[in-house]
Structure 1
Amino acid sequence: MKNCLAVFILVLSFCSLDLYAQEIDTIPINTKDLNIKLKRSPLPSRQGPLNFEPVKIPPYIVNAKVNYWKTKTSIGINVNQAQFSDNWKGGGVNSVAVGGLLNWKAEYNKNNYSYVSEVILQYGKIKNKDQLQKKTNDRIFWDNKASFQLSKNWYFFGSINFESQFDKGFSYETVNGTETATLISKFMGPGYLTESIGFEYKPSKYFSTRFGTGTARQTFVLDESLFNDPDPTKPPKESVYGVDYGKTFRNDLAFQIVSAFDKDIFTNTNLKARYAMLIPYEDFGWNRIDHRLDIALTAKINRFMNTSLTGIALFDEDTGTNKIQASQTLALGLAFIFPR
């Protein structure tokens, strides 16, 4: 029994020594200040030059073209209608009014050169019960301008524009309960063709002013019947729209100023204005200066509907009056804009 106990104590001693040895072997050693040098591998090694061969990668060609043109087309249609029963005591008259607008604009910009072409076509009519049809709007306007940039805000430009109307225009009066119409205008009666060169001041994209130092305007009256007086017993008028009787056009050399403003002043609300002044060189005088102001305020209701308020103020003695002429239109209708 004593021998067995002695053997057990001896085996336990060896186990404890082994465990102690293992604990000593796992003690970390701080090598920060020790000069430890690793032995070089006795195996031979060779290092040669690295050879790189260029790889030819074919260039990737992008099939894309720069488009220097920007176009915009606006189409508007307005319809107004009123209907009353025969026993309606509130007063009123049955009526139907239709109006249309087409505005096309193309703009080209490349380096210091630019070209702008704008077309405005407007036409509207109203028909009241037991009355003659009447125009509410009628205009043809085509403006073309090419310019070359001289400095940050100044350009040298050349422009040509044409203006007339589609349909015949009448003055109306009622005699003995009967409404009569007298022809006073029609297509190319009058018609205006204006050529101009000069300098343009354009401090921003939405505002510009042209100073046409060399401007020529031709006024056309191609229908001789416009010279007839409403009273058939009287001789023809001496001149109509500045064109003398027996002639079809008149040419004026003048100084012209044209200012344009086109900007969204509020969300979905655009203000567009154009003011033109023409001062003839030959017959200069304050009463001979022609003025025209066009203003259009358009508010977008949704994708296809808008409302617009337009106004025109005109002073031109050649039209037969020495007073300011004015017109105003309020419309609600459909609008289509391309591209969207």
Structure 2
Amino acid sequence: MRKVFLPAPSLLVILLIGNIAFGQFQETTEKLKAFKPDSLTGWKKGIALGINVNQTSLTNWAAGGQSSFALNSVFSGFINYKSPNTSWVNTVDLGYGILSQENVKYIKKTDDKIDLLSKFGRKASKNFYYAALMNFKTQFATGYNYPNDSTRTKISNFFAPAYLVSAIGMDYKPNDYLSAFLAPLTGKVTFVADTMLSNAGAFGIEKGEKTKEELGGYLRIVFSKNDFKPEWLKNLTLTTKLDLFSNYLKDPQNIVVNWETLVIMKVNQYINVNLNTQLIYDDKVKISKDTDGDGVIDSNGPKIQFKEIFGVGITFKL
């Protein structure tokens, strides 16, 4: 069987983690059902690592089929601070998955995500905080489109795209489960560092440019709960996050949507069943498709992007 290697993060990822989002760990603390406070008053921290593996081997199998190996890994963690008048959330969410199939030339990605977030708030009234947020997203490795099993075309790369959102607004937190952050003043920068993709004008930037700046409004709603009261839900963790962005300077009616949902059902201390979905719509991202199956691209425009990952795996918590 062919050996499968996961690409290591480059030095630039380490610098980003250190300089853009120091100590940042992601709100996807949905994988952590028990938070243990740090020795410092008001601080809480935690990490979780999940690995799902699927392997199929067929030899002289009369019914047909294809041997394959799939691996999907996620890492999430947080360092949060809370006092009567201050809230500071620092989080990281990483994911990477691959699929290797017999007689298929290339190993394909099934997941690839770097998501760093920091949100600081000062209490304004009972359920409202003045808040500032910074969110950075990109991916680890090159992404390809596969017209067939023997050819591929590069469509994304590390830092191509990358998104940096900086926002100032109000955060509504009526309880520990819900946060609704509304920022009428938001800056968004899209990076496309790959020269080939930049020259093609990928991800809505001007051809030959490396960055695109936008000014607009931003809404982020997060619901995360892992202590449901009904007996049949006591092992369930649900987290859903909705991000909406409108560019004031061009087509403000075209809302950029990013909606992620994670459902985890705990089987025992280490084993869990999880379902992860993500829906994206961005009118500036053009999706090329062969709609009639003749091998010729005949559709190129904005489309709803949807990803679903279902797995049974091992989760380690600290």
Percent of pairs with identical residues: 30
Q: Residue type matched to 2:177 in 1?
A: Y
SS in 1 for 2:160: coil
Report the equivalent of 1:180: 151
User: Distance in 2 between the 1:260 and 1:205 partners?
Assistant: 11
Report the equivalent of 1:70: 44
Report the equivalent of 2:28: none
Q: Output one character per residue of 1:94-118: Cα deviation in whole Å (capped at 9) or x when no partner.
A: 0000111100111101230111001
Q: Residue type matched to 1:198 in 2?
A: G
User: Distance in 1 between the 2:100 and 2:283 partners?
Assistant: 30
Report the equivalent of 1:107: 80
Which is greater in Rg? 1
What are structure 1's unaligned runs of at least 5 residues?
A: 1-64, 228-235
Report the equivalent of 2:236: 269
Q: Which runs of 4+ in 1 moved over 3 A?
A: none
User: Distance in 2 between the 1:118 and 1:291 partners?
Assistant: 21
Q: Output one character per residue of 1:61-100: Cα deviation in whole Å (capped at 9) or x when no partner.
A: xxxx7522101111101110001112x1222100000111
| Alignment equivalent of 1:308, drawn from 270, 274, 279 | 274
User: Distance in 1 between the 2:180 and 2:83 partners?
Assistant: 21
Superposed counterparts of 1:131-170, under 5 Å = 131=104, 132-170=106-144
SS in 1 for 2:121: strand
| 2:222 maps to 1:260 | yes
User: Distance in 2 between the 1:170 and 1:124 partners?
Assistant: 14
SS in 2 for 1:104: strand
SS in 2 for 1:302: coil
SS in 2 for 1:204: coil
User: Distance in 2 between the 1:139 and 1:249 partners?
Assistant: 20
SS in 2 for 1:282: coil
Report the equivalent of 1:97: 70
Report the equivalent of 1:50: none
User: Distance in 2 between the 1:100 and 1:305 partners?
Assistant: 14
User: Distance in 1 between the 2:235 and 2:46 partners?
Assistant: 17
Report the equivalent of 1:296: 262
SS in 1 for 2:197: helix
Report the equivalent of 2:13: none
Report the equivalent of 1:40: none
- TM-score, normalising length: structure 1: 0.74
Deviation (angstroms), 1:245: 1.4
User: Distance in 1 between the 2:82 and 2:49 partners?
Assistant: 25
Cα RMSD over matched residues? 1.2
User: Distance in 2 between the 1:330 and 1:101 partners?
Assistant: 13
| Alignment equivalent of 1:323, drawn from 297, 303, 309 | 303
| Alignment equivalent of 2:251, drawn from 280, 284, 290 | 284
SS in 1 for 2:88: strand
Q: How many residues align?
A: 260
SS in 2 for 1:318: coil
What are structure 2's unaligned runs of at least 5 residues?
A: 1-38, 287-300
Report the equivalent of 1:221: 192
Structure showing greater relative contact order (alpha-carbon pairs closer than 8 Å, 6 or more residues apart): 2
Superposed counterparts of 1:83-94, under 5 Å = 83-86=57-60, 88-94=61-67
Report the equivalent of 1:332: 312
User: Distance in 1 between the 2:143 and 2:70 partners?
Assistant: 17
